[in-house]
């Protein structure tokens, strides 16, 4: 199975680039399943229902989120209406929406996608992500209730992300980090066969500070005083994520490499899809 994961869409330039390029990526690369993190898609803070639906229409099968999931107030109401919209699974019981689900890929495979948020340097501090993942895996074991299992681990600390990867190694197809908006160079297959990358990077303008216009973040570092609001950068966007091929027999990773399309960062398409 061929799966594409795209990192956090940031602002209009990020989401527009994904909407424009994703349909051809799905057809040209013969993708079976696509996951996009959309938590920064609305002006850099949260996501609206219209943006979610447009992302699904462009070819995403699931849209994940993170700590900014409720920044747009309408998300509280629409989260429960769409199975393909995921908020972190380790929110307390009773939180609107859901944190995981089983979906069908274009090749008929059952793909379980779970959105988990880390706790180190993260706000709000949610329930234990490791216990949450254990409960999800117990309810939906790989190659029993699911042919592939994907975790979007939305977290700040790379140590927490790496430990989470090792925690589910051999029991999940892929653990990919989101939140820091900077693609890491550690795309790999762990010892037990789980694909792993600490952060997929963002889909947004890299002439920025994490997708935001540079001036206000820079001012706050220098003066410690806010002069204005953070605004999403609006320059040309680079799409960042990763491609993975998952074994039909085992549900584990066979090949994994980054995908980057756009200016500033070196462009790359996974070699096994060229």
Number of helical H runs and strand E runs in the chain: 6, 13
* Dihedral pair phi/psi, residue 100, rounded to 5°: -155, 165
Q: Looking at residue 85, what is its pLDDT?
A: 98
**How confident is the model over 221-240, as pLDDT tens digits?**
999 999 999 999 999 999 99
Residue 123 annotated as catalytic: no
Joined tokens for residue 86: 């995921």
Q: 3-class DSSP state for residue 121?
A: coil
* Residue 8 assigned as binding residue: yes
How confident is residue 71, by pLDDT bands cut at 50, 70 and 90?
Answer: very high
Residue 97 near residue 63, CB atoms below 8 Å: no
Residue 141 near residue 250, CB atoms below 8 Å: no
**How confident is the model over 31-62, as pLDDT tens digits?**
999 999 999 999 999 999 999 999 999 999 99
Stretch 212-218: mean pLDDT, rounded?
97
Name which of 209, 189, 184 is nearest 199 in CA terms: 184
Stretch 78-92: mean pLDDT, rounded?
98
* Residue 39 assigned as binding residue: yes
CA distance 168 to 139: 14
Q: Looking at residue 271, what is its pLDDT?
A: 97
Q: Looking at residue 20, what is its pLDDT?
A: 98
Stretch 11-26: mean pLDDT, rounded?
98
Query: Percent of the chain, pLDDT > 70?
Result: 100
To which CATH superfamily is domain 2-273 assigned?
Metallo-dependent phosphatases (3.60.21.10)
Query: Percent of the chain, pLDDT > 90?
Result: 100
Q: Looking at residue 268, what is its pLDDT?
A: 97
* Residue 67 assigned as binding residue: yes
Q: Looking at residue 65, what is its pLDDT?
A: 98
CA distance 45 to 65: 11
CA distance 16 to 46: 15
Select which of 68, 82, 123, 166 is catalytic: 68
Could you state, in order of their start, the residue ranges of all structural domains in the chain? 2-273
CA distance 6 to 167: 23
* pLDDT, mean over the chain: 98
**How confident is the model over 104-162, as pLDDT tens digits?**
999 999 999 999 999 999 999 999 999 999 999 999 999 999 999 999 999 999 999 99
Q: How far is CA 54 from CA 19, 167, 185, 235, 254, in A?
A: 7, 34, 30, 21, 31
Q: Looking at residue 257, what is its pLDDT?
A: 98
How confident is residue 204, by pLDDT bands cut at 50, 70 and 90?
Answer: very high
* Residue 181 assigned as binding residue: yes
Q: Looking at residue 8, what is its pLDDT?
A: 98
Paired strand residues for 255 = 245
* Residue 54 assigned as binding residue: no
């Amino acid at each position: 199975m061929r799966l594409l994961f795209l990192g956090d869409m940031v602002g209009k330039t990020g989401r527009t680039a994904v909407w424009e390029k994703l349909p051809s990526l799905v057809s040209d690369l013969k993708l079976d399943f696509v996951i996009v993190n959309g938590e920064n898609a609305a002006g850099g803070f949260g996501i609206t229902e219209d943006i979610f639906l447009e992302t699904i229409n462009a070819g995403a099968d699931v849209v994940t989120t993170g700590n900014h999931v409720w920044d747009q107030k309408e998300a509280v109401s629409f989260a429960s209406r769409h199975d393909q919209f995921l908020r972190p699974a380790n929110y307390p019981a009773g939180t609107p929406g859901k944190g995981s689900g089983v979906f069908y890929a274009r090749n008929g495979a059952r793909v379980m996608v779970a959105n988990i948020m880390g706790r180190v340097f993260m706000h709000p501090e949610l329930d234990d992500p490791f216990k949450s993942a254990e409960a999800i895996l117990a309810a939906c074991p790989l190659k029993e209730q699911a042919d592939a299992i994907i975790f979007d681990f939305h977290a700040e600390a790379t140590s927490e992300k790496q430990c989470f990867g090792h925690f589910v190694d051999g029991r999940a197809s892929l653990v990919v980090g989101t939140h820091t908006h900077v693609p890491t160079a550690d795309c790999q297959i762990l010892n037990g066969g789980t694909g792993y990358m600490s952060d997929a990077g963002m889909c947004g303008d890299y002439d920025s500070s994490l997708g935001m216009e540079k001036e206000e973040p820079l001012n706050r570092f220098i003066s410690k005083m806010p002069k204005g609001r953070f605004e999403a950068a609006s320059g040309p966007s680079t799409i960042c994520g990763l491609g993975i091929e998952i074994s039909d027999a085992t549900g584990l990773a066979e090949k994994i490499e980054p995908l980057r399309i756009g200016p500033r960062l070196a462009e790359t398409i996974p070699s096994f899809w060229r």
